[in-house]
A = this chain, B = another copy of it.
Amino acid sequence: MGAFVGVDWGTTRLRAHLMDKEGAVVGTVETDDGLMAARPDGFAGALERAREKLDAPGLPVAMSGMVGSRQGWVEAPYADCPASFAAIADHAVAAPVNGADVLILAGVAQGRDGSVPADVMRGEETEIAGAMAALGVAEGVFVLPGTHTKWARVEDGRITGFRTFMTGDVFAALKGHTVLSAMMGEPTDWTAFGAGVRADPIDLGDAMAEFFSLRAEALLVGSNPDAAASRLSGRLIGAEISAALGAGEQPILVGSGAIRGAYERAFAALDRDIVPAPQDCAARGLALAARYWGWI
């Protein structure tokens, strides 16, 4: 018996869960109605279709992710760091839908005043809350792989600071839109990926020469396109981890899918232990919001 609907709505995907009074998932639909597909007047329709598929018309809806961005349905505010999940839930905004509550959780921001580098997240704050609940922790370093990977520090249950690394975005741009594009295949060669992951930091300037050298090597002695792409992907993710993770820190890995697997391999190549969070942290975080709002 469903009590509410939890929706993780991102740039490319909509993932809607029918959830019960205990906060457990009892049904899920996933569609391509991401922000890039949905029109401003189409968010309500996309949500309605998802609720119908879940046989959950009229139930309240808790949403997180880019649906609350300026390009989304309704712009939700950002809670400033240090941000508790209560602040994130308190700053939720209502989507313009008749009937039951449809609320979009706030994102988290830092550096609005210039004191630290500016950064924003939408959706990851909910996953972090879900991971904390699942693991029973209130502090730690959380890594959330994606096109823009987030590294967040949590103390006393609050997100105190975070950094977004646009590693996947940089990789795709290098692979698809530079001189490297002619020689790059798909990053599916895990041996080459692991060889690319290195603990030593690399200077940005040196990296821009190292990248060209991949092209020159292909010209002079030949190279395997998939291995070349995999090595570059490993190199970038390794550089990110080296920059983000302090000595002795053990990060909590949150997320799912192929990108999570790549990070698992990168941490293994660096011989760094991680704490794996379950893959359904977004739903767990949405259940926390429903509980906070008294829906369950």
Using a CB–CB distance below 8 Å, which chain A residues touch chain B?
70, 78, 109, 111-112, 114, 117-120, 147-148, 163-167, 169-170, 172-174, 176-180, 201-213, 215-217, 219-221, 236, 239-244
Q: Which residue of B lies closest to A11 (CB)?
A: B179
| Known contacts A164-B209, A174-B173, A177-B177: A120-B203 contact under CB 8 Å | no
Contact present for B220 and A118 (CB under 8 Å): yes
Contact present for A239 and B112 (CB under 8 Å): no
- A169 touches which one: B78, B179, B206 (CB < 8 A)? B179
- A209 — which chain B residues lie within 8 A by C-beta? 117, 119, 163-166, 243-244
16 residue pairs of the A-B complex, CB under 8 angstroms, read A70-B219, A111-B213, A117-B216, A118-B221, A119-B212, A148-B179, A166-B178, A166-B208, A166-B209, A166-B215, A169-B178, A201-B203, A205-B240, A205-B241, A205-B243, A209-B243
Q: Which residue of B lies closest to A213 (CB)?
A: B117
Measured in the bound complex, the distance between the Cα atoms of B212 and A111 in whole Å is 13
- A118 — which chain B residues lie within 8 A by C-beta? 213, 216-217, 219-221
- A206 — which chain B residues lie within 8 A by C-beta? 243
- A201 — which chain B residues lie within 8 A by C-beta? 203-205
Q: Which residue of B lies closest to A164 (CB)?
A: B212
Measured in the bound complex, the distance between the Cα atoms of B203 and A165 in whole Å is 12
- A243 — which chain B residues lie within 8 A by C-beta? 203-206, 208-209
Measured in the bound complex, the distance between the Cα atoms of B119 and A240 in whole Å is 26
Q: Which residue of B lies closest to A235 (CB)?
A: B204
Contact present for A208 and B241 (CB under 8 Å): no
Distance (whole angstroms) from the CB of A150 to the closest CB of chain B:
10
Distance (whole angstroms) from the CB of A104 to the closest CB of chain B:
16
- A212 touches which one: B165, B179, B211, B221 (CB < 8 A)? B165
Question: What are the nearest 4 A-B pairs in CB distance?
Answer: A205-B243, A118-B217, A173-B173, A205-B239
Measured in the bound complex, the distance between the Cα atoms of B169 and A258 in whole Å is 28
Distance (whole angstroms) from the CB of A106 to the closest CB of chain B:
14
Contact present for A239 and B203 (CB under 8 Å): yes
Measured in the bound complex, the distance between the Cα atoms of B211 and A205 in whole Å is 14
Distance (whole angstroms) from the CB of A122 to the closest CB of chain B:
10
Q: Which residue of B lies closest to A242 (CB)?
A: B205
- A111 touches which one: B148, B202, B216 (CB < 8 A)? B216
Q: Which residue of B lies closest to A174 (CB)?
A: B173
- A204 touches which one: B114, B172, B204, B212 (CB < 8 A)? B204
- A239 — which chain B residues lie within 8 A by C-beta? 203-205, 208
